Amino acid sequence: MLVLCLSATEDFDWAKNNHGSFYYGTFPAGFSWGAGSSAYQTEGAWDKDGKGLSIWDVFSHKKGKIQLNETGDSSCEGYYKIKDDVSLMNEMKLNHYRFSISWPRIIPTGIKSDHINEKGILYYDQLIDHLLENQITPIVTLYHWDLPQVLQEKYGGWQNISIVNHFNEFANLCFERFGSRVKYWITFNNPWSVAVEGYETGEHAPGLRLRGTGAYRAAHHIIKAHAKVWHSYDTQWRGKQKGQVGISLSGDWGEPVDISNQKDIEAAERYVQFYLGWFATPIFHGDYPQVMKDFVGRKSAQQGLGTSRLPTFSPQEKSYIKGTCDFLGIGHFTTRYITQRNNPSGSSSSSSSYFTDRDLAELVDPRWPDPGSEWLYSVPWGFRRLLNFVKTQYGNPMIYVTENGVSEKMLCTELCDEWRIQYYKDYINELLKAIKDGVNVKGYTAWSLLDKFEWDEGYSERFGLYYVDFRNKNKPRYPKASVQFYKRIISSNGFPNQREVENWRRKAVETCSSSNQLLAADPLTSHMEMVTEIVVPTVCTLSILLSAILLMFLLRRRN
Ligand code: NOJ
């Protein structure tokens, strides 16, 4: 009780370094707990039932783009496992499930007037209905990176303004068909990645390396497309459907290396502005962050360019874009230390890039745990800082955490994911502290429900609460220990007290070690498969043959 009262009065203080303290308490009533996925990462069925190609289908089939040349062709086979997966959500008593709609699954070329694929629509109909029957609220992302390939080939994808109308038509089709049942829409997931990794570095589909310009142009069109879809919903659908439209932005936190050094403080602020602020500032305030305009503008001039590589919005566009967000989705995983570093812009534009435009260097503390992805260090306190930044910069908007979680890089199977328990425990606790600071967060989405295709990393990084055995063609799911732990957080709506939370952890780890042994006996599973798929049919055929021979023999003897 004392801990609770003391902590409740504790104010957020940027300079205070009380990173270690744990806050016992509960989330506001009605707080929504969920887990997430995305279409290309989990559905599989890449060429089934009339689905068109997406840029990820094409990209992943090119040699050398994805680790071990893996693809999302079958992935978790989520397309065929609606019931199984919803029962996994039920097991944890999730309040919501966040998934995305594959644009080419329902409009194969991306152009609505070409063709609508009813079989694709039926799949999402069934998924939504089944979620609702189980009291799980669907939170639906319209764009989680799988652009129809035709739109990339014909127009250059997000480089071309014409895509804004096609996206708007796709969104309207979704509102028309699913909007009576879906009340939370996310236009774009993590547009930063789409722009930077898709059109600047080329690590992601469509794999273009348009350094210094590609990311800014893609982002510009994405922001316009988002605003257009928000306005469509607002004028045509909101009245009858009463839902909300937001965007999901990702952002690492940037902490100054030296908090007494003004240059580091400014560099860290710039890091966050070039990341989250790039998209959030136009949407909440109508234009790009001033610091982006200044830096990209100055560097472009030094390179002898007549105009900035950062595009501009007209006054009409600014007021059209400003305020197009009913809730803000935040995807957050990690933090960096930031220090000032000048990148000479040179006289040619070939040396320019989004990264060098920022004039900073990113550092990590080697003591930070990094169990999985190379870039993912566990730094829970950065989460609270980022959420407070959003609160102060954008007028305390309504927030849903749309992604947060940690991966593992394991060659052998491991269901006892203690590090993930630790990550969730600490990050969710920082979220609780942020809510106590007054940040308006309504829900939290663990990323992700299942292990799945992790983009250019293939299947080598596992983010799932559930382990998926990708070697087995049935793609069976097994709960990791973190399922038990997350389930307890949900049922208590927070962290009741130290003893109980410690008990949850102990029990979760105990139960997983037995299931771990089960999985370790994987040869057994393949053995079982061999029994059903090879031995049984062979024995049956042989028995039939033998009976026939025996019958012939008996008949001959009779004659
Ligand atoms: C953000 C992306 O939206 C998601 O698809 C991905 O799995 C996570 N980052 C982890 O890399």
Q: What is the pLDDT of residues 148-194, one digit of tens each?
A: 999 999 999 999 999 999 999 999 999 999 999 999 999 999 999 99
pLDDT, average across residues 186-215? 97
For residue 37, report the distance from its CA to the centre of ligand 1, in Å: 9
CA distance 238 to 251: 29
* Cβ neighbour number for residue 106 with a 10 Å cutoff: 26
Choosing from 99, 190, 377, 460 the residue with most ligand 1 atoms within 8 A of its CB, the one to mutate for a pocket test is 190
Ligand 1 pocket, residue 405 CB under 6 Å: no
Task: Tell me which of 130-139, 313-322, 449-458, 514-523 is least confident.
Answer: 514-523
Report the nearest-CA residue for atom 6 of ligand 1: 454
Question: Is residue 13's pLDDT more than 70?
Answer: no
Task: Tell me which of 88-92, 121-125, 368-372, 436-440 is least confident.
Answer: 368-372
Crossing angle for the helix pair 163-178 and 118-133, to the nearest 10 degrees: 50
The mean predicted confidence, pLDDT, of the chain is 91
400 φ, ψ to 5°?
Answer: -115, 130
Supply the pLDDT for residue 349. 53
Ligand 1 pocket, residue 372 CB under 6 Å: no
CA distance 490 to 473: 32
For residue 335, report the distance from its CA to the centre of ligand 1, in Å: 15
Supply the pLDDT for residue 519. 64
Question: Is residue 463's pLDDT more than 70?
Answer: yes
Looking only at the bridges linking them, the beta strands covering 360-363 and 328-331 are unpaired
- Which numbered atom of ligand 1 lies nearest the CA of 250? 1
Q: What percent of the chain has pLDDT over 90?
A: 84
- CA neighbours closer than 13 Å in the CB half-sphere of residue 96: 26
Question: Is residue 539's pLDDT more than 50?
Answer: no
Report the predicted TM-score, pTM, of the whole model to 2 decimal places.
0.90
Supply the pLDDT for residue 45. 98
| CB of 225 closer than 8 Å to CB of 165 | no
pLDDT, average across residues 107-135? 98
In DSSP notation, 111-171 reads: -TTT---HHHHHHHHHHHHHHHHTT-EEEEEEESS--BHHHHHHH-GGGSTTHHHHHHHHH
Residue 8 pLDDT grade (very low, low, confident, very high; cuts 50, 70, 90) = very low
Ligand 1 pocket, residue 189 CB under 6 Å: yes
CA distance 316 to 372: 45
pLDDT, average across residues 369-373? 90
At 334, is the secondary structure helix, strand, or coil?
coil
CA distance 197 to 158: 12
CA distance 377 to 334: 6
| CB of 55 closer than 8 Å to CB of 152 | yes
Question: Is residue 289's pLDDT more than 50?
Answer: yes
For residue 249, report the distance from its CA to the centre of ligand 1, in Å: 11
CA distance 481 to 391: 33
Ligand 1 pocket, residue 255 CB under 6 Å: no
Residues 313-370: tens digit of each pLDDT? 999 999 999 999 999 999 999 999 999 999 877 655 557 899 999 999 999 999 999 9
Q: Which two tokens stand for residue 481?
A: 């220990």
| CB of 124 closer than 8 Å to CB of 106 | yes
For residue 453, report the distance from its CA to the centre of ligand 1, in Å: 10
Nearest Cα neighbor of 223 from 247, 250, 243 is 247
Range among 412-421, 498-507, 527-536 with highest mean pLDDT value: 498-507
CA distance 326 to 401: 14
CA distance 195 to 189: 11
Supply the pLDDT for residue 511. 81
Report the nearest-CA residue for atom 2 of ligand 1: 190
Ligand 1 pocket, residue 403 CB under 6 Å: yes
Distances (CA, A) of 313 to 17, 304, 310: 40, 22, 10
pLDDT, average across residues 28-48? 98
Ligand 1 pocket, residue 38 CB under 6 Å: yes
Residue 2 pLDDT grade (very low, low, confident, very high; cuts 50, 70, 90) = very low
Residues 239-248: tens digit of each pLDDT? 999 999 999 9
To the nearest 10°, report the CA torsion of 392, 394, 398, 399: -80
Report the nearest-CA residue for atom 5 of ligand 1: 38
CA distance 87 to 407: 23
Residue 409 pLDDT grade (very low, low, confident, very high; cuts 50, 70, 90) = confident
Supply the pLDDT for residue 10. 34
Report the nearest-CA residue for atom 7 of ligand 1: 454
Ligand 1 pocket, residue 120 CB under 6 Å: no
Q: What percent of the chain has pLDDT over 70?
A: 87
Residues 478-488: tens digit of each pLDDT? 999 999 999 99
Beta bridge partners of 137: 96
CA distance 256 to 340: 9
Ligand 1 pocket, residue 454 CB under 6 Å: yes
Question: Is residue 12's pLDDT more than 50?
Answer: no
